[in-house]
């Protein structure tokens, strides 16, 4: 079995990372979006992928979870190459990662309980009552313990995002991927979701990979970030976003991370 728990604590070297992306080039047909990307994700951290519109943030995430195949390079989850794993090895990797998509992607014809239970039905042979207990526990983790019988259309957008996270955690993944979790939410709901993400990381020891462009969320949740640049098709910054904001000398990085200050000055 692929072991995603083998990585150590803060300060580990890249050889002990949970995820290692090596010389990754991605694109479609003759169009190259990013090339020669190299970075790692450490156990227990919240790792955020940044970049302007069209820079390839969500495309990178989809490569990391195996939805897209790279033009070149490797994406190592534990010791297995996601891009090339097949059969039982690929199934093993996929069972150890959870994913939420930008709009939640809940099944509208299913209750929240049924949505959260679905991965257990597909990937396990547990009896129904055991699956229901797990689903209820996941809903409780995200603050939706009383909403299991509700349909997605009966709850708010923020609650739908929480339910999607509960479903992504159904199989107790070691790594949780979140694509634009705050998209479409008001600032208060977004801040509450940020607090949930931090709490999951700290209490469950989960590793999270998050795609977002929301500045408040970046500083609220990120332990470390990378920033993609569509002009150079490369990573132009990596590190603690608070440090990058103060010390990075790339004009686009500084503008991106200080844009609230710029907006205040121009108001």
For the domain that residue 233 is a member of, what is the CATH number?
Answer: 3.40.50.300
Residue 16 has pLDDT above 90, yes or no: no
Span 34-75, pLDDT tens digits: 999 999 999 999 999 999 888 899 999 999 998 899 999 999
Find out whether 148 and 112 touch, Cβ atoms under 8 Å.
Answer: yes
Q: Quote the number of domains for the chain.
A: 2
pLDDT at 11: 43
Give the structural domain span for 201.
Answer: 1-96+178-239
pLDDT at 12: 45
Domain boundary among 172, 192, 226: 172
Distance of alpha carbon 148 from alpha carbon 140, whole angstroms? 9
- Bridge partners (DSSP) of residue 179 are 211
Q: Is 202 exposed, middle or buried (0-12, 13-18, 19+ CB in 10 A)?
A: exposed
From residue 36, how far is each of 24, 72, 159, 236, 239 by CA, in Å? Answer: 5, 8, 38, 12, 18
pLDDT at 102: 74
| Nearest alpha carbon to residue 119 among 79, 155, 145, 91 | 91
Whether 80 and 183 share a structural domain: yes
Predicted TM-score (pTM) above 0.85: yes
pLDDT at 175: 94
Residue 261 lies in a domain: no
Q: What's the CA angle centered on 75, arms 171 and 33, to 5 degrees?
A: 115
Span 188-225, pLDDT tens digits: 999 999 999 999 999 888 999 999 988 999 999 999 99
| Nearest alpha carbon to residue 250 among 217, 267, 227 | 227
Whether 28 and 139 share a structural domain: no
Residue 103 lies in a domain: no
Whether 11 and 43 share a structural domain: yes
Whether 158 and 184 share a structural domain: no
pLDDT at 6: 40
Span 115-169, pLDDT tens digits: 999 999 998 999 999 999 999 999 999 999 999 999 999 999 999 999 999 999 9
């Amino acid at each position: 079995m692929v072991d995603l728990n083998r990585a150590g604590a803060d300060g580990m070297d890249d050889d002990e990372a949970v995820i290692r992306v090596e010389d990754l080039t991605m694109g479609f047909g003759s169009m190259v979006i990013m090339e020669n990307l190299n970075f790692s994700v450490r156990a227990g951290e919240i790792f955020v992928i940044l970049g302007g519109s069209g820079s390839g943030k969500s495309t990178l995430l989809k490569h990391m979870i195996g939805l897209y195949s790279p033009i070149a390079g490797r994406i190592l989850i534990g010791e297995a190459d996601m891009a090339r794993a097949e059969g039982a090895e690929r199934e093993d990797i996929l069972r150890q990662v959870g994913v939420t998509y930008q709009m939640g992607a809940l099944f509208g014809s299913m209750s929240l309980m049924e949505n959260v239970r679905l991965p257990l039905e597909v990937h396990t042979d547990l009896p129904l009552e055991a699956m229901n207990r797990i689903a209820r526990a996941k809903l409780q983790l995200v603050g939706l313990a009383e909403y299991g019988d509700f349909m997605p259309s009966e709850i708010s957008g923020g609650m739908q995002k929480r339910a999607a996270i509960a479903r992504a955690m159904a199989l107790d993944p070691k790594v949780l991927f979140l694509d634009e979790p705050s998209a479409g939410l008001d600032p208060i709901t977004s801040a509450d979701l940020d607090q949930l993400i931090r709490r999951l990381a700290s209490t469950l020891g989960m590793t999270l990979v998050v795609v977002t462009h929301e500045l408040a969320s970046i500083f609220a949740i990120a332990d470390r970030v990378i920033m993609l640049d569509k002009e150079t098709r490369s990573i132009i910054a990596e590190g603690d976003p608070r440090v990058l904001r103060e010390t990075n000398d790339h004009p686009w990085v500084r503008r991106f991370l200080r844009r609230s200050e710029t907006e205040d000055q121009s108001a």
